[in-house]
Amino acid sequence: MSDRHRRPTAGRQPARQAKGRGAPTPGRAAQRSAGPAGTGASGRAVRPDDARRQPPQPGRPSLADQLRKPFLVSFIVFVVTAAGLVLVTRAASPVYACGSIDTVQSPAPGELGQVQPDQGNQHVQPGDHVSYAVCPPASGEHINQPGYGPIAAKVYGPNDQAVPNGWVHNLEHGGLVLLYSCDQGACDTSSLNALQTFSSQFPASPICGLPAGDISPVVARFEQMPTRYAALLWDRALYLDTLDTSKIDQFFLRYSERLASDGSWIAPPEPQCAAPSPSPTATASPAPSASGG
């Protein structure tokens, strides 16, 4: 066989490798195993989803850790802002509402004013919202807390705070509440002076003898009513377009504190004294009618 057709000998193979890529040196082998940037140990390129699965590097916070603090701060700001809005809205909203305005009725023969359907006498807390079926209310839910209900018996100016949530409790104790309307012309100087005079000359209660300034009269502004003035006792109303103080006094003395023929209380729901013992020689008289206007 000629030399041209002989296979290369083993001793000549390293020379052929030298003409090609050659055997890797230790340094080049280390570089190839590590791989260039963006590749793994096998030299395969790292895909984006692989990068996301990589655990966080030590000493560097994860994305969740980076977002946790801003989220907590934003949440706290939201809660505080929402709570502030609730408080402001509640403070600005009225503490009572009226379902309807009472209508003036002709009084029954021999009676003064008119009876108003009872709206209950449950107790509420200061700031609670109360809805009255009829206004001005001669009964209904009210506050039972010193300073809030019953309220002080005096003349409250047009801008003073005096709401039914408080003075309905005065009615429950037998007090008289006289309301006046600025919208209907009862807030001029002359009218306000007349209200002061009425308050200073108010009589004592007919049975318990409570003096003026104890539980009545409460004189306060109120706009949700059919006339310029309204005198209220428990479950009763006397509507007036002029300030007739004599008629208001009669209304108070007749209906604020009443006894039945057996000596038991008819009104008010919470008397401020014990019922007097009936005289053995006295002839029992029928109680005043609770019907009629």
> Binning pLDDT at 50, 70 and 90, where does residue 263 land?
very high
Residue 84 has pLDDT above 90, yes or no: no
pLDDT, mean over the chain: 81
Over residues 149-160, mean pLDDT: 98
Minimal CA–CA distance to 206: which of 278, 267, 281? 267
Q: What was the pLDDT predicted at 80?
A: 64
> Binning pLDDT at 50, 70 and 90, where does residue 278 land?
confident
Residue 105 has pLDDT above 80, yes or no: yes
Residue 34, token pair as written in the block:
């590590």
The three-point CA angle 208-212-214 to 5° equals 70
> Binning pLDDT at 50, 70 and 90, where does residue 208 land?
very high
Q: What was the pLDDT predicted at 26?
A: 52
Q: What was the pLDDT predicted at 211?
A: 98
Measured between alpha carbons, how far is 13 from 8 in angstroms, rounded to an integer? 7
CA dihedral angle for residue 84, residue 148, residue 143, residue 251, rounded to 10 degrees: -140
Over residues 121-135, mean pLDDT: 96
Q: What was the pLDDT predicted at 69?
A: 72
CA of residue 163 relative to chain centroid, distance: 15
Minimum mean pLDDT range among 53-62, 122-131, 189-198:
53-62
Over residues 242-260, mean pLDDT: 98
Measured between alpha carbons, how far is 144 from 166 in angstroms, rounded to an integer? 8
User: What is the DSSP secondary-structure string of 120-131?
Assistant: ---EE-TT--EE
Over residues 192-213, mean pLDDT: 98
Q: What was the pLDDT predicted at 173?
A: 98
Residue 113, token pair as written in the block:
């004013």
- Report yes or no: 233 and 179 within 8 Å, Cβ to Cβ: no
Minimal CA–CA distance to 186: which of 156, 216, 154? 156
Measured between alpha carbons, how far is 214 from 235 in angstroms, rounded to an integer? 20
Residue 160 has pLDDT above 80, yes or no: yes
